[in-house]
Each structure stands twice: as structure tokens, then as C-alpha cells.
Structure 1
Amino acid sequence: MSDIHHLLQILLHFDQYLIVFLQEYGAWVYALLFLILFAETGLVIMPVLPGDSMLFICGTLAGAGIMSASWLLGLLVTAAVLGDAVNYWMGRRWGAHLFGGHLLNVRYLDTTQRFYARHGGKTVIIARFLPIIRTFAPFVAGIATMPYRRFFGFNLMGAFLWVGGLLGAGYFLGRFPWVKSHLNIVIVAIIVISLVPAALAWLQQRLQPSEHPSSR
């Protein structure tokens, strides 16, 4: 229970922890942020890392002059693009085996496949803004053998929109006094809002009637 409480404290006060890390480790913090974002987008077993809130907080620190906006944008866009690329090739090479062996939750795959079928290639872009789904969308694209050149275009555009949008939102909104003094509330709001689509998809799946073969 104490571990969960400690994790919540880190999530809600990530800006304070990040400032301490910057004071102690300097530029190495940029490498840590790169690895966190790469892991969330590139490792299909890590779909719950706090990418959205982390990007917003980094933007607020860049707006305050504590971090470099250009370094953040360049490094984190690169991390997001590379993460999705690795995820795509993992899905293309090992996807069926991982889900067939029950190493990953098949429900996540089913949800993302339905989302993919509904929105097509745009899913790679849209999924960037949806936790859990953004981790599985490139994986499903790989399983479906989507042409990599086409995938890469959506991947690059989605990374710029997601990383740049949230960094920019933090950069400009973080200057407002209310946002500065209530940043933990803003972080919670970002987490809740970003999880709503995934929660609705899960609820829709739970409420959908099961298909049983008709009796003869």
C-alpha cells in the first residue's frame, strides 16, 4: 500500500521531483525523460506510464526557464517516433506469438483492433492522445503488416502533434498563477481526461452482449 501511495505522490508532484533531479543530475534528466517516453510508446508491456502529464509538466518547467524547450521537443519527439517504430516491428515479428501465449492482455488488443478498424491509418495519430491505446496501436499496425512507409508518416505527424501540443500547453498555460499554484489538480485532470476514451471503450466492451452459438 505504501508503494502505491509513493507512486501517487510522484505523479501528483512530478514537477517538484523533476526539479530536484535537475539540480542533482543536470542534463542526465533529459536522458531519463527520453527513456520514459520511449518505454511508454515502444514497450507494449508498459502502457501505463504517465506520458501526458509528464509532457505537460516538462512544458511548464520550460516556460519557467528551468528546462530547454528546444531540447525537450527534439528529444521527446525522437523518443516517441522511435518508440512507435520499435513497437511496430515487435508487432510485425512477434505479435501473434505474444498474444497467443497469453503474455499480454488480449482485451487491449481487441479494443485497439476495433479502434483501428474504425479510424484506419489515422489511428496511429489519434492513439497518441489515448493512454493504453497509444501503446498498442503501432503494435497492431505491425501485426496487420501496414506498409512501414505509410506507418512512418502517421507516426512522425502524431509524435509532433502529441509531444509538441502538450509541451506547448504546459509552456503557455504554466505561466498562469492559478495553474502554477494548482498544478497537482491540473495533473489529475489530464490523467482523468486522457483515460476517459479508454474507460468508455472498456465499458462498451463489457456491456456488449456475448455471442453464443445458436442451439440446434
Structure 2
Amino acid sequence: MDSTEQLGTIAEWAMSLMERLGSVGAGIAVALENLFPPIPSEIILPLAGFTARRGSLVLWEVLLWTTIGSVIGALLLYGLGAWLGPQRLRRIVDRMPLMKVTDVDRAEAWFARHGGKAVFLGRMVPIVRSLISIPAGIERMPLPRFLLLTAGGSAIWNSIFVLAGYFLGANWHLVEQYADLWQYVVIAAVGVAAAAFVVMRLRERAQGRMG
């Protein structure tokens, strides 16, 4: 399925939810997008804004329910992280090639210093916006703080895309094209970081054998 067909399929699915359930349907679609990142919010949110522009939905209700949906989806992933926990994560990492238990310790130390910023700003970064809830759950970030940061970051992200769809009207789909550029940047950055990590670990192993 090419990108145009995917856009049409997801748009039809999201539209059917909104037609049946109104703004609540938009919230459900966004909650599912948090759990299944292949469902792009960059399509759902502008489409919801366009639907509000036509008068089928109320704009403020769309903004409210899409943020509620984001928080619900994030809460489920937070629960997954809480279930996983630091000790279970350490056991998993200990069995993974090229990984060390000390990597978990460093990640915990980093999250203790920057977790609040990571959760808030991470809600505005493709891919990261879903996954950031898992380490928050693993580290048991206080739930009220997690909810506040998640709701704040999600409200900003959702408002940008919903309002873009609202003001672009029938051209709402153009938002997805520009959002793709941001997503490609994130994917490239993650790929470079992963490659650098693998190279560093392979060098460490080679030096260890030589020593």
C-alpha cells in the first residue's frame, strides 16, 4: 500500500469514528495512535480540525477530547512501564547482545535529571511521543506530575495540528506532508544514534579481547 492509499484508508477509518461518536471518536483515534504509532496523528488531528471547520464537530470539543485520548493512551503505556519495572528491565537487558546492565543505570540517572522535560517535550516528537511514557512508568514518575506534563505537551501538539486542519480546510492533508519531514529527521537521528552505539560497543569488545 503506497502512502496515498494509506492516507485514504486511515482518513476513512478516522472519519467513520467521528461520524459515529463525534469528538469522542477523534479522542479514541488519538488514544489508539499512542498505542499503535503506525496510526499517524498527523492525519487524524488535521482531519478532525477540517471536520470541525465544516461544522460537523465543535472545535473546542475536538481539542479537549483529542488531549484526553492522548492522556489515556499514554497512561496505558505508563502502566506497561510500571509493570516492567527496573529489575525486570535489567534482567531483559542482561540477555541482550551489546547491552549492559549499567546502561539501565545510566538511563535511570538521566531520567532522574531530565524526565520531566523528556515527557513534556517528547509528546511533540514523532515516535518518541508514544514511547516516552514507558520509561516514565518504569521509573514510577509520580502520576499527577506525569499526567500534567503529558496533558500539557499533548495539548500543544494536538492544537497545532487540529488548528492547521481547521484553517486549511479542504487542504488539511497538506499538514501530513510537512509533518513527514519532521518524522524523517527523528528517524534519521535515532538511526545515527543506534549505529554509533553499536560501533562503540563493538570497539569495546574488540579492545577487551586485545587486552
What is the TM-score normalised by the length of structure 1? 0.72
Of 49, 54, 59, which residue of structure 2 is paired with 1:69?
A: 59
Q: Is the 8 A contact 1:56 1:166 kept in 2?
A: yes
Structure in which a larger fraction of residues adopt helix: 2
Distance of aligned partners of 1:68 and 1:91 in 2 relative to their CA distance in 1, 3 Å threshold = same
1:123 alignment partner, SS class: helix
Matched ranges for 1:9-24 at <5 A: 9-11=5-7, 21=16
Gaps of 5+ in 2: 94-98
How far 1:15 moved relative to its partner? 5.1
Per the alignment, residue 84 of structure 2 pairs with 94
CA-atom RMSD in angstroms: 3.3
Distance of aligned partners of 1:60 and 1:116 in 2 relative to their CA distance in 1, 3 Å threshold = farther
Moved more, 162-171 or 90-99: 90-99
How far 1:184 moved relative to its partner? 4.1
- Determine if the alignment matches structure 1 residue 50 to structure 2 residue 45: no
Q: Is the 8 A contact 1:37 1:80 kept in 2?
A: yes
Per the alignment, residue 73 of structure 2 pairs with 83
Of 194, 197, 202, which residue of structure 1 is paired with 2:183?
A: 194
Identical-pair percentage: 24
Distance of aligned partners of 1:77 and 1:95 in 2 relative to their CA distance in 1, 3 Å threshold = same
Distance of aligned partners of 1:169 and 1:89 in 2 relative to their CA distance in 1, 3 Å threshold = same
Distance of aligned partners of 1:80 and 1:184 in 2 relative to their CA distance in 1, 3 Å threshold = closer
Per the alignment, residue 37 of structure 1 pairs with 30
Aligned-partner Cα distance in 1 for 2:50–2:41: 14
- Structure 2: which amino acid aligns with 1:70? W
Per the alignment, residue 146 of structure 2 pairs with 151
What is the TM-score normalised by the length of structure 2? 0.73
**Which structure has the larger Rg?**
2
Per the alignment, residue 104 of structure 1 pairs with none
Aligned-partner Cα distance in 2 for 1:133–1:48: 13
Gaps of 5+ in 1: 102-106
